[in-house]
Amino acid sequence: MTRILLFLATNAAVMLVFSITSRLLGIDRMLGPGNYQGLFLFALIAGFAGSLISLAMSKSMAKRGMGVHVIEEPANETERWLRDTVYRQAEQAGIGQPEVGIFNSPQPNAFATGMNRNSSLIAVSTGLLEHMQRDEVEAVLGHEVGHAANGDMVTMGLVQGVLNTFVIFFARIIGQIAGGGRDGQRGNYMVYMLVSLAAEFVLGILASFIAAWFSRRREFVADRAGADLASRDGMINALKALQRVHDPEGLPASMAAFGILGGRGSLMRQLASTHPPLDERIAALEAGR
């Protein structure tokens, strides 16, 4: 269940740097009011560039950000079982062998990331290994392998590229209108810069809600993958085990989209959540959906 937020956080940072740079270099000045075709082409190139850069950085950022120890030569029986289980599931799913790692966290959690379904990273927390039975861990691993096999990171990258495009496009149109630029007249460029940056921030938040909604839908699919690659009972029990975790801290916000945890909260938190509530996921598996 870690399909995005190191990705989303990286994407936001890349887009912020790009937006400020394009304004300071005067690129926006060349796209005056009324030049909608040129502006949209610019937004399309910039939007997908930011998304693809974030996608390409996702695995290395995850390793550094989470402090993942990649298992190259298993140091003990647990590491050997973990690696062999992921390799077996990857073969069942028809993808290349992922890198397998462990990160230090007392909370049960796991994530999958990577630009290529045949070159992904599957990592679990020390807390997951300590608090779950092996059949439950196996189901969680199947869930993450399912994310990799379904190409969820790549799909999310494409979705985010489209969202970036429209955020850039409409933010600049709003800035042009606020700056008084119309019919080829550029208006007040400073007002344009400030308003378009503010609009990009607000529209970026709204776009993140759409990305989060898409991520929530993919969690149900990954749960079914975990049930198929391990067992349905194991997947259900793993989710119930997560429910029993008291006040889970989960992954950092930058990795939340690909972690195993989910939860409820305020309306804003629900809209921004990359995971459905655990009880909904359990109910879907019990109903065979």
pLDDT tens track for 108-166: 989 999 888 899 999 999 999 999 999 999 999 999 999 999 999 889 889 999 999 99
pLDDT reported for residue 249 = 46
> Active site includes 219?
no
Q: Of residues 144, 200, 280, 286, which has the active-site annotation?
A: 144
Can you tell me the distance from the alpha carbon of 17 to that of 21, in angstroms, rounded to the nearest whole number?
6
Give the pLDDT confidence of 14-33 residue by residue, as tens digits: 777 777 777 777 676 676 66
Q: What is the pLDDT of residues 252-273, one digit of tens each?
A: 444 444 455 554 556 667 777 8
Mean pLDDT, residues 206-234 taken together? 93
Instruction: State the average pLDDT for the chain.
Output: 84
Average of per-residue pLDDT across 56-79: 90
Residue 36 has pLDDT above 90, yes or no: no
Helix (H, G, I), strand (E, B) or coil at 138: helix
Dihedral sign (CA 208, 63, 237, 82): positive
pTM for the full predicted model: 0.81
What is the structure's pLDDT at 17? Answer: 77
DSSP class of residue 96?
P
* Beta-sheet pairing, 119-125 with 99-103: parallel
